Amino acid sequence: MEMNIEFYREEPQETVRKIIRDARQHMGYTQAYVAECIQMSTRQYVKYENGKLPIGEISFQQGVNLCELLHIEVYELIAPISQILGATSA
């Protein structure tokens, strides 16, 4: 079975930014609180949330912590659901 390399492409930056921002706001967290919880400066976190830094530059552990804190799935930050479904049906 051939591996679909496209599966590992990042989501468009706007989509990732929106996922993170919406989840944080839904939880009622401030940007400073999220940054502290994932051991990152508030300034750096704001850059990720505003799309000024690509989410691919975040450390693995910080990404996992961010997903756990905001109750989102890791795949939401790394691959569009359409690609995930396409990869499993091939």
Q: Which two structure tokens, joined as six digits, stand for 63?
A: 């990404």
**Which residue type does 36 have?**
E
Mean pLDDT of the chain, nearest integer: 79
Q: Which of 76, 79, 56, 80 is nearest to 67 (CA)?
A: 76
- The predicted structure's pLDDT at residue 65: 94
Q: Output phi, psi for 38, to 5 deg.
A: -100, 10
Confidence of residue 13 (pLDDT cuts 50, 70, 90): low
- The predicted structure's pLDDT at residue 55: 81
d(CA 48, CA 35): 10
Confidence of residue 1 (pLDDT cuts 50, 70, 90): very low
d(CA 71, CA 52): 23
Cβ atoms of 32 and 42 within 8 Å: the answer is yes
